[in-house]
Structure 1
């Protein structure tokens, strides 16, 4: 019996090339996709996809893309596709359109990864569960590539990439030091998917010390460090405001802390 061949990651051809070429190609794809969505209410599949050889490097964040004249797979340029979609639809109802495009992309390995690691906010518990579950479905395929994300020249495995981009989700929802990244993501996504409001409050309180460590210039830090007062404040949030922070994403919690700090200063 021949040994099993490694699974390959497939990506849209418009994400490969020099920076300016990918930007142009991705925007053109967005215009095409936006027009299709306008007519049918659904997004089309890419016109061409390519299988990446095992170990191929994928640039997953713009902060590490310094060699822009070098042809590369630029996953982060999916954002330019969205810009083209919004432009075609004249920026009408961008949030529902983004959600629809995200749902479509979750059916592909490249799309699932893009939305799971992108820094777009807010990330509710329900939405993050869907994003992580999508990545987990394609885990073996995504493991075939290597990624640039947080530091130039630091090539990451999928485990390292998800640990870098989604450590907040694991810390808040699956604080199990020593367990594998995959198992912690599975546990976190399962807990997020069935989370009650109280479950989310507990996760947020676990993450608030981390958020506070990044917060600068708070005028009422001593008040904001009180778990009891924070719990009380969280219980008063309206449903929409609470949903925005229910995933306990650090960036969402920072926005919440700055808002509370400002409110305290007005009392």
Structure 2
């Protein structure tokens, strides 16, 4: 990977990139490499390739930043901890760049980028705690790494209101918004299914809310 000079702007999210002809650092295009790997494998047995690709990328500053800010698929608490810890190892050099995330209107510092992309991790795993973004991410990663199923369950329930605020067309909102209903459904998940949402990422929880809503419609 080429070194990005200090002060350069890095486009982290494709939504902030409307000038594809413009020479610019495009972090989000790491996903295209992963897509190319899948195609090369004809979409067979892709998970080992995905895991190896991520593990390699986490050993680089830009790969660590990509996987921390652009989580792919449902992500467990354990893997989220690995991603955040990888990012934190490169915190100082990554502060030298500026970032475009989901808007062309605002160029972000590293701290602002992580607040915009990983606020869910801090809210779910260290709610109400004071401190810098760096300190709170360190705390969140530490708790995720050692989380029990019950720890993850409580983190998920703390983050559910945020997920609900983004679900605009639920047909059974009163039911799926009930914490008792959420706890019951989460407790009933098999180990693999629970692991997929154990990181408490808002996007994963939003998907789960829609799944429950559809299931209620079929009862």
Q: Indicate whether the TM-score tops 0.5.
A: yes
Q: TM-score, normalised by structure 1?
A: 0.79
1:177 deviates by 4.9
Q: Which runs of 5+ in 1 are unaligned?
A: 1-11, 13-49
Mapped partners of 1:87, 1:219: distance in 2: 38
Name the SS of the counterpart of 1:222 in structure 2: helix
1:264 deviates by 1.6
- Answering whether residue 170 of structure 2 is matched by residue 195 of structure 1, we say no
Name 1:165's counterpart in structure 2.
Answer: 117
- Answering whether residue 135 of structure 2 is matched by residue 204 of structure 1, we say no
1:39-54 correspondence runs (5 A):
50-54=2-6
Query: Residues 121-174 of structure 1, C-alpha deviation per residue, up to 9 Å, x if partnerless?
Result: 211101100000000010001111111111013111000001001111111001
1:120 deviates by 1.9
Name 2:179's counterpart in structure 1.
Answer: 227
Backbone CA RMSD of aligned residues: 1.2
Mapped partners of 1:228, 1:88: distance in 2: 45
Structure with larger RCO (C-alpha < 8 A, sep 6+): 2
Name 2:43's counterpart in structure 1.
Answer: 91
Name the SS of the counterpart of 1:91 in structure 2: coil
Name 1:214's counterpart in structure 2.
Answer: 166
Number of residue equivalences:
219
Mapped partners of 2:34, 2:214: distance in 1: 33
Q: Which runs of 5+ in 2 are unaligned?
A: none
Mapped partners of 1:178, 1:191: distance in 2: 16
Q: In the alignment, which of 40, 65, 71 is matched to residue 17 of structure 2?
A: 65
Rg larger in structure: 1
